[in-house]
């Protein structure tokens, strides 16, 4: 499989955050933040460069492209991947980092090109929200699993059944590898582009992006059991009103909100 690499330079923090939020809409599922810009990767057959070029022109952005063959991405990630710690609770690390004492949940992640290492505010907020919910003996759906980090954490928090899905084959393979490395036994990872075939769950996790979340309001609502929870992220602060309005008729007012570095996460409860 061949991949398309795009490279933006000279970005402000706000523009970088905007690109991280919208690039998945153009088919780019892997991203790498650099000191001088942002690189993103997507399957050559799935990216929409013409549409991205229009978006870039509208926002006065310039990017370069390159075609690259499938390869082992570990060396590139290892040089930039530092452990992530939520003190006393979660330690996300690669295999070459030492374990640390006094942590409840240790998660081994080899991210490759998949999204979700805990470094980005959206993933970190999802994990913090999860720590405040009861997963014991419950069923969980992770919609857009990426590296599988949230699905793996759900199992470690006591979930009885975890079903993780993604529409990106690279992410599915990566998530399965990470599940094995974390000795996950209650985790099913499947290549799917919709929630249709999944049984409803007590907790549904969706760290994706605004457009996907707006397209799946009804589907997500149908998959949350009565009194269950829906945790959303992949959203910018300015997305809050649109998301809250879209989900209000099904869930009512959000139960809790999180904010960090211009990004938000929202928790809804299915009160019937």
Per DSSP, the residues of 30-53 read: EEEEETTEEEEEEETTT--HHHHH
Quote the CA–CA distance of 230 and 81 in Å, as a whole number. Answer: 29
pTM of the model: 0.77
pLDDT of residue 119: 60
CATH tag, 110-269: 3.40.50.150
CA distance 121 to 155: 21
**Is residue 117 within 8 Å of residue 92, measured between CB atoms?**
yes
Residues 212 and 225: their CA atoms lie apart, in Å, by 21
Q: Residue 44: what pLDDT?
A: 87
Give the span between the Cα atoms of 247 and 152, in whole angstroms.
27
Four-CA torsion 29, 86, 128, 111, nearest 10 degrees = 20
With the CA atoms of 266, 242, 248 and 200 taken in that order, what torsion angle do they form, in degrees rounded to the nearest 10? -60
Query: Each residue's pLDDT tens digit in the chain (272 positions)?
Result: 678 989 999 888 888 888 988 998 899 877 877 767 888 888 888 899 999 999 999 999 999 998 876 654 545 555 556 778 888 899 988 877 888 888 999 999 876 655 555 567 888 899 999 999 999 999 999 999 988 999 999 999 999 999 999 988 888 988 999 999 999 999 999 999 899 999 999 999 999 889 899 999 999 999 999 999 999 998 989 999 999 999 999 999 999 999 988 889 999 999 87
In words, the CATH class of domain 2-71 is alpha beta
Residue with tokens 């990630």: 77
Q: What residues does each domain of the chain span?
A: 2-71, 110-269
Strand partners, 7: 39, 64
CA distance 205 to 267: 9
What is residue 8's predicted lDDT score, i.e. its pLDDT?
94
pLDDT at 3: 83
Q: What is the pLDDT of residue 116?
A: 53
Give the residue among 190, 195, 198 at the shortest CA–CA distance from 206.
195
End-to-end CA distance of the chain: 47
In angstroms, the Cα distances linking 230 to 33, 64, 120, 149, 236 are 28, 38, 20, 17, 18
Alpha carbon separation from 104 to 2, 90, 131 (Å, rounded): 40, 6, 11
Q: According to the model, what pLDDT value does residue 259 have?
A: 94
């Amino acid at each position: 499989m061949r991949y398309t690499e795009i490279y933006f330079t000279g970005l402000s923090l706000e523009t970088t955050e905007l690109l991280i939020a919208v690039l998945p809409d153009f088919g780019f599922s892997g991203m790498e933040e650099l000191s001088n810009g942002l690189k993103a990767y997507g399957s050559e057959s799935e990216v929409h460069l013409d549409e991205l070029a229009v978006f870039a022109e509208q926002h006065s952005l310039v990017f370069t492209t390159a075609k690259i063959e499938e390869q082992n991405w570990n060396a590139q990630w290892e040089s930039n991947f530092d452990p992530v710690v939520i003190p006393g609770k979660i330690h996300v690390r690669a295999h070459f980092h030492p374990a640390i004492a006094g942590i409840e949940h240790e998660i081994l992640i080899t991210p490759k090109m998949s999204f979700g290492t805990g470094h980005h505010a959206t993933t970190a907020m999802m994990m913090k929200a999860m720590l405040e919910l009861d997963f014991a003996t419950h069923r969980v759906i992770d919609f857009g699993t990426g590296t599988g980090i949230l699905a793996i954490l759900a199992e470690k928090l006591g979930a009885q059944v975890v079903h993780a899905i993604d529409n990106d084959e690279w992410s599915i393979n990566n998530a399965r590898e990470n599940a094995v490395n974390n000795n996950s036994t209650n985790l099913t990872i499947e290549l799917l582009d919709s929630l249709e075939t999944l049984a409803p769950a007590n907790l549904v996790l969706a760290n994706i992006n605004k457009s996907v979340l707006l397209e799946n309001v009804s589907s997500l609502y149908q998959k949350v059991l009565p009194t269950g929870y829906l945790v959303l992220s992949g959203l910018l602060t300015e997305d809050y009103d649109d998301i809250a309005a879209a989900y209000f008729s099904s869930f009512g007012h959000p139960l809790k909100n999180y904010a960090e570095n211009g990004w938000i996460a929202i928790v809804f409860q299915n009160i019937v």
